[in-house]
Amino acid sequence: LLTSALYFFISKIKDQSASWRTKIQIKNQIYFSLFIFLSLLTFYGSIFLVAGFLLYFLYKKQYKNLFICLFVVFVYFLTISPLLSQQLINSKVALANVTNWTLVLGKANIKNLLLIPIKFSIGRISFYPKWLYWGIAGAWTGFVLYQILNIKYQTDKSKIKNIYLFVYLFIFPLFLGFIISFWTPLLQYFRFIYLIPIMAILLSLNKNTLMYRYIVIIGFVVFSLTYLLLPQFHREDWKSLVKNLQKDRPVYMIKASSDPVKYYNNKLIIKELRISNYELKEKQITIIPYTADIYGFDYKKSLTKSGYQQKEVKNFRELSFEIW
């Protein structure tokens, strides 16, 4: 939706011949407003790119476009306000009750900021040793950014203007998101994934040699296939974990995070992990420690105090369960 809005944003600011300018501009305005509204309804983080559009209209003194876009944003907030107010209350409760919830949301720090261009360049992969990962990721990201910003050989003035515009649209949402994250943590790379098409456009605009273009294409294909073909980079393997649980035994975990287990087997008995020591009666219990660290609950200390010992750990992709 944001990419579609971007398309009509560019169409709006391009010069049109006088004979058909009005009709085209009205059509572009309608589509632009529609996709802005739908993107905001879909994802709150859309506001950062929309804010970039608004600031551009203000800078260029395109007040008509500015007020129309502001009106769309106003209608959006008016429409979504009952849900938004409730979600703000819920988020405050989560931040107050869940000890390390800010770690999930993405605090404003240099690491989270640097991860955005790195993940945009190499995708959702990570490996050990970390020095090798950071070396490869850093070198490739640096190469991609150099290709984006290398305009010294560009002679077409209109293309140079476009490059500056897209660089602004790429950087401003990140800058705004970083500032907002000091108050409301949200600085995680997947929340800015709508900027990848802008990055791709920037790569296409620069006057690079054919060899560099092939290197960029091959690099993106290699990293994409690495992610797609190697399962260790995929999301948590809940299906395999649940399949290996004993069906006649209850499972102890943070109940608020138990939906994946219920999805794959709704007959399993799930008990709250955060209980008093004296309430544990079983000789042998199964623990799924998922999100225990986020909730700030030291279950190992609690179980050890109750006389339990860890006997076995079974690992799955980014998940595990333990027998005590």
- Mean per-residue pLDDT of the chain: 86
User: What pLDDT does 204 receive?
Assistant: 86
pLDDT digits (tens, 9 = 90+) for 14-41: 654 444 567 777 888 899 999 999 999 9
Rounded-to-integer distance, Cα 105 and Cα 43, Å = 15
Our measurement of the distance from residue 37's CA atom to the centroid of its chain's CA atoms, rounded to an integer in Å, reads 20
Span 194-208, pLDDT tens digits: 999 999 998 888 777
DSSP string covering 135-175? HHHHHHHHHHHHHHH--TT---HHHHHHHHHHHHHHHHHHH
Task: Give the tens place of pLDDT for each residue, 280-314.
Answer: 778 888 999 998 888 888 888 888 888 899 999 99
Largest CA distance in the chain: 85
In this prediction, residues 236-243 reach a mean pLDDT of 92
- Taking the C-alpha atoms of residue 324 and residue 310, their distance in angstroms, rounded to an integer, is 4
pLDDT at 16: 47
- For residues 154-177, give the mean pLDDT: 84
The stretch 269-288 carries a mean pLDDT of 80
**Length of the chain in terms of residues written:** 324
308 phi and psi, to 5 degrees?
Answer: -85, 150
What residue has token string 């290197």? Answer: 215
Residue located via tokens 């994250």: 181
Q: Quick: pLDDT tens for 53-100.
A: 999 999 988 888 899 999 999 999 999 999 988 888 887 777 777 767
pTM, to two decimals: 0.79
Is there a contact between 42 and 1 (Cβ–Cβ < 8 Å)?
Answer: yes
Binned at pLDDT 50, 70 and 90, residue 154 comes out as low
Query: How far is 124 from 107, CA to CA, in rounded Å?
Result: 19
Which tokens hold the place of 215? Answer: 């290197």
Phi-psi region of 307 (alpha: psi -120 to 50; beta: other; left: phi over 0): left
* 84 neighbors 184 (Cβ within 8 angstroms): no
More confident residue, 238 or 101: 238
